[in-house]
């Protein structure tokens, strides 16, 4: 058992179950490391128990590479028909084939996950987990006793760590995991977020990476620990695959998203749809560089009558900005937040890539290029004409006629981008 001093000086990382979404947790872990957090304990359910072992070992590259190469065959032994079913391609399966799949499934008592067992025994050196300075625990559920089991590393019999990790990850569709005559099922049926384990170890701060569903027990635990634990929850903004989707491309997306969402949770990135580094009101900056005649043209695009003798600052703050806020139905008050809302709205319409960081200038430049190119006819679409034409034309005018030298790359962005771009390849 780790000391209380460790719990007080570091954070607990709590990893939920979520099956094929597990790469998200690895991305979140890397972000926490880049943010400088010291992890004193890791507690997981199901795939969270698997990833938790990687965290304890400090094996980011090994865990990342495993997720980026994982396939159905690496996790389970299934027929081609069952793989189609798990991939959601049921329309490709005949009734006769479906009957065979179901007969095979029920005849074997579920899906055989022997490949996953072999992987765990190969990649998780038990002695290294036990000797790590980072505490470890997992949640399992005993069907034989009909009760949950919170198992810290010292509670797990020597030589049986991989067995208990597999017991924690025993998804209901898998064949039941049996240890010493005792049957287990996925710990997520009781608590998918083993936050209670962090509390029992004396931690005051915890980060929960939640990629699955919350049980009633999870909700009650959060309520009961509210006054004792400072908890930050990190959840995926977007989902790319289900619990049993084991696909390298899906894992790549989740890994990147986990990193970005964690950085957003700690204020490094901003935005609701995209990930923006150091948001600022670049529209205001560009507007201030326009001549009085250009400011009038820009205002006319929006349908705004400018006060003739007013300063550029007054015109923007009191006349242009309220119009921009109205056009996007923004509830924000700060000009930087309104600017970001506008940029995100147009970026979403033009279908910008989501899983990467942007600066406000990069978003604006991308919007201007899409506007210039006419992008596959969307400029002429009815939706564009009704909702976005004014604001897109205004942004394009600012980009073309404003002095872009006032737009500087935010401090630290190049370093951040370099770390992000190396996420999939760095050693």
Task: Say which CATH number the domain at 32 has.
Answer: 3.40.1090.10
Pair (211, 291) in one structural domain: no
Pair (130, 228) in one structural domain: yes
Residue 82 lies in a domain: no
pLDDT of residue 134: 97
- Whole-Å CA distances, 95 to 80, 84, 87, 91, 160: 15, 13, 17, 10, 42
Residue with tokens 């698997």: 50
Residue 117 lies in a domain: yes
pLDDT exceeding 70 applies to what percent of the chain?
81
pLDDT of residue 83: 58
pLDDT of residue 75: 77
Q: What are phi and psi of 209, to 5 degrees?
A: -100, 110
Mean pLDDT for the chain overall: 86
CA atoms of 29 and 182, how far apart (whole Å): 33
Q: What is the pLDDT of residues 10-48, one digit of tens each?
A: 999 999 999 889 999 999 999 999 999 999 999 999 999
pLDDT of residue 402: 96
Q: How many C-beta atoms surround the C-beta of residue 216 within 10 A?
A: 9
User: Which of the four pLDDT bands, split at 50, 70 and 90, describes residue 298?
Assistant: very high
Residue 194 lies in a domain: yes
Specify the higher pLDDT residue, 218 or 361.
361
Q: What is the pLDDT of residues 232-264, one digit of tens each?
A: 999 999 999 776 778 899 999 999 999 999 999
Residue with tokens 């095979």: 104
CA atoms of 135 and 133, how far apart (whole Å): 6
Pair (222, 294) in one structural domain: no
Q: Residue 89, exposed/middle/buried by CB under 10 A (0-12, 13-18, 19+)?
A: exposed
User: Which of the four pLDDT bands, split at 50, 70 and 90, describes residue 278?
Assistant: very high
Cα-Cα-Cα-Cα dihedral sign, residues 390, 393, 395, 397: negative
Specify the higher pLDDT residue, 216 or 30.
30
Where does a domain end: 239, 267, 295?
A: 267
| Closest to 337 (Cα-Cα) out of 284, 290, 280 | 280
Torsion of CA 117, 120, 121, 126, to 10 degrees: -140
Residue 91 scores a pLDDT above 60: no
Pair (66, 149) in one structural domain: yes
Structural domain of 167:
11-77+112-267
DSSP assignment letter at 271: -
| Closest to 248 (Cα-Cα) out of 17, 67, 30, 48 | 67
Torsion of CA 84, 89, 91, 97, to 10 degrees: 10
412: CB partners within 8 A, 6+ apart: 278
Specify the higher pLDDT residue, 85 or 361.
361
Pair (252, 289) in one structural domain: no
Pair (263, 281) in one structural domain: no
The helix/strand/coil state of 178 is: strand
Where does a domain end: 267, 299, 326?
A: 267
Residue 92 lies in a domain: no
Residue 63 lies in a domain: yes
Pair (250, 302) in one structural domain: no
CA atoms of 284 and 342, how far apart (whole Å): 12
Q: How many residues does the chain have?
A: 427
User: Which of the four pLDDT bands, split at 50, 70 and 90, describes residue 206?
Assistant: very high
Q: Quick one: average pLDDT of 170-190?
A: 74
Structure tokens of 163? 């067995």
Structure tokens of 110? 């579920």
CA atoms of 276 and 268, how far apart (whole Å): 8
Residue 4 lies in a domain: no
Residue 47 lies in a domain: yes
CA atoms of 174 and 167, how far apart (whole Å): 10
Q: What is the pLDDT of residues 114-135, one digit of tens each?
A: 778 788 888 889 999 999 999 9
Pair (321, 286) in one structural domain: yes
DSSP assignment letter at 414: H
Residue 427 lies in a domain: no
Pair (326, 407) in one structural domain: yes
Q: How far is CA 271 from the centre of its chain?
A: 14
Pair (284, 204) in one structural domain: no
CA atoms of 56 and 130, how far apart (whole Å): 9
Residue 96 scores a pLDDT above 90: no
The helix/strand/coil state of 41 is: strand
Specify the higher pLDDT residue, 328 or 396.
396
pLDDT exceeding 90 applies to what percent of the chain?
60
pLDDT of residue 131: 96
- CB distance 137 to 197 below 8 Å: yes
Pair (241, 282) in one structural domain: no
Structure tokens of 174? 């898998």
Q: How many domains does the chain fold into?
A: 2
- Whole-Å CA distances, 43 to 40, 59, 338, 382: 10, 16, 39, 51
| Closest to 364 (Cα-Cα) out of 281, 302, 300 | 281
Where does a domain end: 232, 249, 267?
A: 267
Pair (120, 24) in one structural domain: yes
Bridge partners, residue 142, by sequence: 147, 184
- CB distance 53 to 136 below 8 Å: yes
pLDDT of residue 84: 57
Residue 198 scores a pLDDT above 90: yes
pLDDT of residue 64: 95
């Amino acid at each position: 058992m780790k000391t209380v001093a460790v719990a007080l000086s570091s954070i607990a990382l709590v990893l939920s179950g979520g099956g094929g979404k597990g790469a998200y947790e690895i991305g979140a872990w890397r972000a926490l490391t880049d943010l400088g957090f010291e992890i004193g304990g890791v507690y997981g359910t199901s795939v969270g128990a698997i990833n938790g072992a990687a965290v304890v070992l400090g094996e980011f590259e090994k865990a990342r590479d495993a997720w980026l190469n994982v396939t159905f065959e690496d996790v389970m032994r299934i027929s081609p028909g069952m793989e189609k079913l798990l991939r959601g391609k049921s329309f490709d399966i005949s009734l006769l084939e479906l009957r065979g799949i179901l007969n095979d499934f029920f005849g074997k008592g579920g899906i055989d996950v022997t490949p996953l067992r072999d992987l765990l025994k190969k990649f998780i050196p038990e002695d290294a987990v036990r000797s790590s300075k980072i505490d470890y625990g997992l949640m399992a559920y005993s069907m034989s006793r009909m009760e949950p089991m919170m198992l810290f590393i010292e509670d797990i019999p020597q030589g049986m760590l991989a067995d208990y990790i597999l017991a924690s990850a025993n998804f209901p569709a898998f064949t039941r995991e049996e240890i010493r005559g005792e049957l287990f099922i996925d710990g997520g049926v009781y608590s998918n977020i083993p936050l209670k384990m962090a509390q029992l170890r004396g931690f005051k701060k915890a980060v929960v990476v939640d990629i699955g569903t919350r049980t009633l027990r999870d909700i009650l635990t959060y309520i009961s620990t509210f006054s004792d634990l400072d908890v930050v929850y990190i959840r995926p903004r977007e989902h790319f695959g289900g619990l049993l989707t084991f696909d390298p491309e899906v894992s790549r997306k989740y890994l990147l998203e986990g990193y970005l969402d964690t950085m957003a949770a700690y204020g490094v990135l901003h935005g609701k749809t995209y990930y923006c580094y150091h948001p600022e009101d670049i529209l205001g900056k560009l507007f201030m560089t326009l001549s009085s005649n250009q400011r009038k043209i820009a205002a006319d695009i929006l349908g705004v009558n400018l006060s003739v003798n007013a300063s550029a600052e007054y015109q923007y703050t009191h006349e242009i900005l309220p119009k921009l806020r109205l056009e996007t139905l923004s509830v924000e008050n700060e000009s930087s937040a309104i600017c970001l809302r506008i940029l995100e709205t147009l970026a979403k319409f033009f279908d910008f890539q989501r899983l990467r960081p942007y600066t406000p200038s990069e978003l604006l430049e991308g919007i201007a290029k899409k506007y210039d190119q006419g992008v596959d006819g969307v400029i002429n679409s009815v939706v564009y004409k009704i909702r976005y034409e004014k604001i897109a034309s205004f942004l394009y005018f600012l980009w073309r006629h404003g002095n872009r030298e006032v737009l500087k790359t935010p401090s630290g962005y190049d370093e951040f981008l370099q770390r992000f771009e190396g996420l999939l390849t760095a050693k």
